Structures are given as C-alpha cells and as structure tokens.
Amino acid sequence: MSKLQIVIALYPGVTHLDFTGPHQVLSRLPNAEVVVASSGGRDIEAEGLTFTRLADLAAVGRCDVLCVPGGLGTTDAMLDEAFMAQISRLGAQAKYLTSVCTGSLILAAAGFLRGKRAACHWAWRDLLVPFGAIVDDSRVARDGNIITGGGVTAGLDFAFVLMAELAGETLAKSVQLGLEYAPSPPFASGRPELASPEILAAVKARMEPFAQSRLDAVKQVAARLETAR
C-alpha cells in the first residue's frame, strides 16, 4: 500500500512553530511520509533557525495532504507567483487542504477558500474576507476537506484533529499521551478576549507596521482572483 503523502510548504519568513508542532505530531502517523518542501529546495531561515535539506516544491508530484504554515512572510508568499503556482497545483489534487495561522491566507490566495469556513491568527483573520472565505474564530475549523488552525500554537490542536481524521481517535489520543500534550498555560492571555486591554493594545501596536502591506497584498491578490474567475 502506498504511503500517505503529507507536504508542508515553507517559504521565507515562515513561523517555525507553525510547522514544527504539526510535524512532530504527523511524523508519528503510520504509513505516512511527511515532506517539508520549499521553492527550489532552498534553505529556509525562520527566527534564527535554518531548515535545510528540504524537498523542491516543484519536484513534488502529488500529495494527499497539503499543509501551509503562516508567518510574517505570508505577505510576500502570496505575491510570489512561482510559489503560489505550486500551492495551486498541489492543492488542486490534494485530498485535504490544511493550514496553520496565516497559512490560511495563502490557501485563500490560491482560490481554495471561497465560501469556506476557515481559521487564522486572530490579528489577521478578517483578511480572509476579501477572498470570499467565512471567518471562523475556532482554534481548529473544518469545512469539508479543509482543516485550518488558528494562530501558531493552534497548530498542535490542528495536527491532532487531522491525525484523528486520517488514522482514528485511538491513535491520536495515544500520540497525545506520548507527547504529554496537556496544555495548562501559566497566564490566561492567549486570546484577545482573555488578555488585558493593555496587553492587547501593546501586541496590536507591534503588529501595526505590517498591517498595511499585508492588507495591500490581500487586495491585490483577491482582485487578481476575481478577474480570473
């Protein structure tokens, strides 16, 4: 029996926990191959870590599951026509389309989320709307064959949901136990509705310098998609 092919597509400026968390979980799937790929197989630097010996995205013939992580580089990735061509190619034949954090914006930019519910990092989820997606503020959202996780750490929850879908709850629960995934955060500050107004304002201020360029990219790509319809 052929192995289940899971492809995680990386790009410059990706957030490493967006994909290393899910990779840790999904690498424990039996009869599955998790391929981490980038354009040209180039090394990817992510917040001080360099990921090397990656597969060439264009050389990946097919996949059963396409997973796109997020990060500050999402904006440039959406505008990278060569990268987006590979996302479109692989996604068109994948059984499952998945993402973590702002990776859902990339799926949306490829035209996969029109009329679909999708999750995203809380600060950027409204940018799904220009692509015709339905914003879902859940930690993990599912709409048919599309499974999307919220911001960064939600990638772990997403991975267990996907594992249960692919191989059943018993395996997912066993892997969860093996990884001792029993989150108990030291602070109730992990979502905007839980954080204090001061903390929320400070985090929003740190994100503000990226907001306009990301909005401009979303409008540009959304207009391109609308013209192509």
HSE-CB at 94 with a 13 A cutoff on CA atoms is 27
Residue positions annotated with a catalytic role: 101
C-alpha 65/C-alpha 56 separation (Å) is 16
Strand order in the sheet with 4-9: 55-56, 32-38, 4-9, 65-68, 96-100, 146-149, 140-143
Structure tokens, 78: 């959406």
C-alpha 223/C-alpha 173 separation (Å) is 43
C-alpha 160/C-alpha 156 separation (Å) is 6
3-state helix, strand, coil in the chain (%, to 5): 45, 20, 35
**What is the CB neighbour count within 10 angstroms for residue 189?**
13
Beta-bridge mates of residue 32: 4
* DSSP run (H or E) holding 34: strand 32-38
Beta-bridge mates of residue 4: 32
